[in-house]
Amino acid sequence: MKKLLATLTPAESKRLIARGILATDLVQNALKNGYLCITVGTTSGYLVEEILGEYDKTLHIAGIVVPKGLAVTDGKKRSSDAIFHKGELLENKKVIDVLDKLGPDDVIIKSANALDENYVPIVLLAHETAGTVGVFLGPVASRNIKLIVAVGLEKSIPVAYEEFCGQFGKEDWDYAIGTPVGAIALHEALTFTEIEALEALFDVQAMPISAGGVNGAEGSITLFIEGGDEETARAYEFLVDLKGEPPFPKVDIVK
């Protein structure tokens, strides 16, 4: 077994996660033979870019975290969800437009705002009826539609969702620096981080051993990766090439 040490910035992690998701049999089958629904979100935007080659990721966002706090992008300038049917992008369609057609062989991709201590992804909710999550969560559970949540390890929080579930909703805050929100855990989801991406791409095992940095490495994650000689070498070459992924472009938000 060979050991590999690597540090990834948030942008590099998003690119890795997108390529890892695209490499899975589940997503390849949905993309070729059924529906692949990629809802708005930063990491999700990288996946759309991987499929289409060119894509304005800054428009593939609804809720966003910026230095001033939680915020929302302008809905009039925002892209629709990226809905693919048998490899073809359906223009100006959202998940709700195809929801009644989805089944166990179809996939919905969602980005998340947090990953709790039990590896459960959490989404913050600024919309009165929970936005896209409110639309698809019931059908996902009732019809066994596959839900993959793309979330970087930088979003890990050291508490369980149950510790704050029910403590607040978007109207409950006395003070809020940024957009008030509620929160929901996506227990039905398949969590997909850098760990799952490396396993999908290279058949190696990975675990985080450090986080954070400076000089552009803020939010970075440092990984201990281990695998067979050939697979670890391939992972090393891939990650070396991945280094230098530019930060996510500046996003316009609602003031």
| Phi, psi of 12, rounded to the nearest 5 degrees | -65, -40
8 found inside a domain: no
Please state, in angstroms and as integers, the Cα–Cα distance from residue 62 to each residue in 56, 119, 124, 125, 131, following that order.
14, 23, 11, 10, 9
CATH of the domain at 57: 3.40.50
Is 235 within a domain?
no
Domain assignment present for residue 221? The answer is no
The mean pLDDT of 91-116, rounded to a whole number, is: 96
Q: How confident is the model at residue 75 (pLDDT cuts 50, 70, 90)?
A: confident
Mean local confidence (pLDDT), 163-186: 96
Do the domain assignments include residue 96? yes
Residue 99 lies in a domain: yes
What is the mean pLDDT of the segment spanning 199-224? Answer: 97
As a three-state string, the secondary structure of the chain is CEEEEEEECHHHHHHHHHHHHHHCHHHHHHHHHCEEEECCCHHHHHHHHHHHCCCCHHHCCCEEEECCEEEECCCCCCCCCEEEECCEEECCCCHHHHHHHCCCCCEEEEECCEECCCCCEEEEECCCCCHHHHHHHHHHHHHCCEEEEECCHHHECCCCHHHCCCCCCCCCCCCCCECCCEEEECCCCEEECHHHHHHHHHCCEEEEEEECCCCCCCCCEEEEEEECHHHHHHHHHHHHHHCCCCCCCCCCCCC
Q: How many domains does the chain have?
A: 1
Residues 107-145: tens digit of each pLDDT:
999 999 999 999 999 999 998 877 888 889 999 999 999
Structural domain containing residue 45: 17-201
- Identify whether 157 is part of a domain: yes
Closest by CA position to 197, among listed 170, 235, 228, 254: 235
> Mind listing the pLDDT tens digit for each residue in 2-59?
999 999 999 999 999 999 999 999 999 999 999 999 999 999 999 999 999 989 999 9
- Taking the C-alpha atoms of residue 224 and residue 174, their distance in angstroms, rounded to an integer, is 42
pLDDT over 90 (residue 188): no
Report if residue 145 sits inside a domain: yes
pLDDT in tens, 47-70: 999 999 989 999 999 889 999 999
In angstroms, the CA 135 to CA 83 distance is 15
Residue 101 has pLDDT above 80, yes or no: yes
Question: 182 or 254: whose pLDDT is higher?
Answer: 182
pLDDT at residue 76, as a whole number: 80
Could you read off the pLDDT of 214-253 as tens digits, one per residue? 999 999 999 999 999 999 999 999 999 999 999 999 888 7
In a domain? residue 247:
no
Q: At residue 255, does pLDDT exceed 60? A: no
Q: Read off the pLDDT of each residue in 138-159 and give the average, rounded to a whole number.
A: 96
What is the Cα–Cα distance from 73 to 59, expressed in whole angstroms? Answer: 8
